[in-house]
Structures are given as C-alpha cells and as structure tokens.
Structure 1
Amino acid sequence: QNGRRKYTERKKKSKINDSRTGRTAEESSILSSPHSTETAMSTAILFAFTIIPVHFSLQVGSAITAVSPSRNLGFVVFLVSEDMKRLCPISISKRDTEAVVSAEACTILQLLQGIDTATAIFPANALHKAFGRDDGMTLSAVCVDLYDQIIDNNTSTEFVPRCDQVMAARKAPALVSAVKKLGLQVSEEEAAELLLKYSINGELSQIGFKTVLNALRDETTPTENVFKTSLLSQDGAQVTVRPFEAMAFAIRYKVPFRIDPTIFYHDLAFDIADARTQFPLLTTVTVLQVQALRLEAQSRELTNQAASIVASAFGPRRSTDNFDF
C-alpha cells in the first residue's frame, strides 16, 4: 500500500506545472533530464566509440536540445524556441529511419558528446571550404530561416530559375564535365534538364550547383526544401550550407543561432509536451553528454587497470625470480 501511495503521489506531481518555468514535468524532462529511458537511448545510439576524449567541454549551442531517428524525416536535430515550449525538427539525413546508420548522424552524435575526429565528412578545414576562402575565418552565427526568406550574399540575385532550352543545351557539356570530376554521371540531356530547372541564364550559382548535386545524389533531406540553413561570418559574409553542416558547425565552434521564430509555428514544429509521442526514440543532449562522461570514466578505469597490470608484469625483478636462458 505504501508503494501504491507513493506511485499515486508521483503521478499527481507529474501533472503539476513547475511554478518557476510554467512547464509541466514532462516538458522539463524533454529539455533537461538526463534520465531518458535506457531503451530509447540504446536504440537511438547504435554505434561504438573508438575514441574517448580525455578533456572536452559539454557546452553547445543552447538551441539544440535533442536528436532522434524517425520514419518520415530520418535523423533530426531538434531546435527549441526561446520560450522553451516548441520544438522544430531539422532533418540531417533521411537514411536513419529506425536507427542511427548514416555518417552524418554519427558525426552529430559524436560532436554533441565532445568527440571531434575531423573526418572526411566534416574535416578540420570545413569552414574555409564552406566560404571558399583560405584566410582566417571567424564564424559568428548559424542561421535557420524559412526557405523563401533566405538571402545568400554570395549570389547577385535571389535564386529564380531562368534559362531557355538553347542556352541549357549549350551549357550542358560543361555541367557534365563538372559533375564527372565529383564522381557523378549524367547525360547531356539530363544536364540540360537540370540547367533548365536550376540555372540562371545557363549559369549555376553556388546554391544552384549544390541543388543539382543533391538532385543527382538524391541527398536532399525531407526538411531541406522548408528550412534553409546558412553560416554568418564575423565580417558579414553569409553562405548557405546543408543542415548537417550547419548543426555540425554550431556544435564545433559553439556559436549562437539566429533563428527565424516563425519556424516554430510551421506545420513540422510541435509543443514539447508532444515530443515523446511524435518521436519515441528522442534522446536529449543531456543524455548524450551523460553517456559520454560514463564512457570516459569507464575508459579511464580500464586504462588504470591496464597500467597496473603492465607495472606488475614489468616491475622490479624479485629476488626469487630465476630466469635460465
């Protein structure tokens, strides 16, 4: 009976709003609790770490609050609104429908846990590549906007496809040659169709060329046509990047987000209280970081044990030892 009474009391407390935040206990758990279910955590993180950091900071952009594989959107990163009441999912990779399988998703999870291996998918010089510059770069912010509100300072005009068939046919061989260098195959007829759809007078802007590559690789994520992500440098330059790159840069450089608040009222956004229902495999950033600390502690213990074994095996020779060669 005592156990039943305590269970009832806990149920009642879970329905009471936190007087300081105005959130329910369930909403608060989504935002900050490290005690997510072990099932959800083990299902969402299906990979093993081979590198355990010795020292790292757990501070990341405050807008990133959780991650999850999902059937419709793939692997998503959740951004939280300023009032901490709404979540907006940003799709990173559409392959991760039931578990984490893509390199992009694994990279995001590792970065959130303080592990930055600077692999080919997100190298150490990724920032310079994104801006196309070799000089010193300082990232100021990561921007997230609705698709029709993005402004790319690297192009002279807003992206509006304008190209006739004659121009597209004439420019098609150059596009075939360009994508071939990236390991992609496309016929001149297909190239002409892509130029008709994405070019301006037969010329592809940086956004247009990336869009063509995504179309050829079938890499566009489910939310990429809704939300646009970009990087803003300290000197005011702005460049559009894939959602994966935007989230990875925000975590690596710990820069703030500039988020259009209307994204939290888009059809894909939802109340925090509905998070577990819509995304049962959702795992909070806090859980990921606690898991990293546990792994680090386990690694340190194993290292100490190994050092102790080595020391005992190769320590000072005892007087009773007798080696005959």
Structure 2
Amino acid sequence: MSGSAGLILSSYAAAPALDGWNPEAEAALLHAAARLPGVSGLEIPFYPTGQLHKYDGDWFLEQVRHLPDHLAFVVTTIPDTMSRLDGSADFGLASLTAAGRQAAVARAAAAAGAVRTLNAALGRQAVLAVHLYSAPRPVSHGVPAGSAGTGPLAASLEQLAAVGWDGARPVLEHCDAAKPGQTPVKGFITLEEELEAVTTSGTGTGVAVNWGRSAIEGRNGSAADRHIGECLDSELLAGVVLSGCAPVATRFGEAWDDCHVPPAPVEPASLLTPAAIRSVSAALESTPGGPNSEVYRGLKVSAPRGSSVARRVGLLSDSIDVVRAAGF
C-alpha cells in the first residue's frame, strides 16, 4: 500500500460534542474535517444508545448524507464497550462468563445494525470496518476485575461471523494490555492472545494497531513497531491508527493517557514523532501487493477542551500535514 492512500480521520475525538451539544459547531467541524486534503474517510463511534453520535443519531445520519460521496467509514465500539464495563466488570467478547460474553456479542450485533442503517442512509456499503475490543479487563487500576481468555474471544468472533455486517469487516483494535506494576488505561488482553483468538476462530477477522495505545502499554515509542510487525507476520493486519501519547502531562491530557495527543511538532511532547511515523510507513511498505496490502491508515487527534471550531480544524489539518510528510 503506498503512502498516497487516504486517511481515515477520527475527527470525533476533536469534536465540540465532547464539551456539550452545539449542533452548529458540530456540523461545522464534521463538514470541514471530511473535506481536509488527504482524508478518505471518517472513524465514527457507536454509543450505548445504539446511535452513531453522542447526542443525536438522526441528526448525524442527516449530516452524513451531505458529506463527500467518496468517504468510507470505520465504526469504533470503544465508547459502548467502556460504558458497559462501568456497569459490569465481566462484559466483553473475551469474557469467561457466559453472561458477559453474550452481552458483548449482542452489543457487537447492535453495532452491525447501526452499520446497516448508515449504509441504507447513504445508499451504498460505506462502512469499511467495525472496531471491536477484547474486554473485559483482567485488572482494573490494580484491582482484579473480569476474567478474559482467548477461547471465549474466538467463540465470540465465530458467533459474530454470522451477523449481517453489510460489507464491513469486524476488526479487533488492540488496546494497552494489563502489565504487572503498571496502571493500565484500557487494560485488555495481550496482542498475542488476540492474534491467537483470531487465528483459532478462522473467521477472517482483522486486527488493528493503535500507535498510542501500544506506546502506553510499552511505555515507549517502539512498542507499536513490534505490534505492527507481529500483525504483519500473522497476515492479520487490517489497519494502523496513528494516535499519539506523551510521557508527561500536556494540554491534551495526563501522562501516558489515551488522550489522542497530536504528533510532534504539533504537540512537542508527543512520542509520535516524524521519525516514529516514518518507521510505521516503512513497515507498511515492506509487503507491497501482499496479504497486508489493503491495510487502512487512520489518524486520531483530540483537541483541548473549550477549543474553537477553527482551532479544532487547525489541529486536524496540522496533524495531517505531519503524517503525510512522513509518508503515512
């Protein structure tokens, strides 16, 4: 896959809706983000309400009808997953409890329903992938939580293979795994366990690497390279999402938090430097035309609370410039 491929932009992470509901500001950000140079699609969240917008799913469906026709979409179920975990520590596709696992399968099936609704609204199979997660957390902030395993995860993926995804591919997005002596942010199972579960399931489920979440797990900027390499070797890599993090507090969040810090030099403290991005780009270029040639490339950037729409769009635009210049 060449570096000229378009970006799937997670503009929702920088959207005004994270501060409150302002339809005019939200629409301005959405339409501006969708038209930024180099953007070929948007990552959009699936919420506990069953909608694809935090405040108004019908409003969102009306807005996307007026976005450029070439856009693809990736749906992330992370907001729904984290909300469900707050209510039940056993919730998750990898849960060792039947109730926790079946609840997660049901929510993933609901996300597939949202995919069908979006595709119907646009009159095409616009959704490229749906990001799923290997919850529950084995440990939450040092305290034992739900129990997770590769067998249940494989079983869940097998069940979900029978769901009507309407052209979208189920993809496990790796999050920081729980590690001894380290407080996790997401704290799900390891990448190696996820790859094992996907392989065992035989379902064709993909795996995506989120650069920042891998860096949070490894406490360094090289962890994502290792994870990308493992996924390439397994021929399961579906996508790579560039989302930064920092070892110190920034205007975007606390140290080692999953707060989608923009790349350096947009945020100077970010570990997601041009050199780190070039390393990712080189890895993706290493298998031209091979089984990993259709890997999609994402960018997830947040904005400080209270930012104007212009500032939010500027952060997205500046970040795109950095990653494109680094060949991503």
TM-score range, shorter chain: under 0.3
Q: Which has the larger radius of gyration?
A: 1
More contact order relative to length (CA 8 Å, sep ≥ 6): 1
**TM-score (normalizing by structure 1):** 0.24
**TM-score (normalizing by structure 2):** 0.23
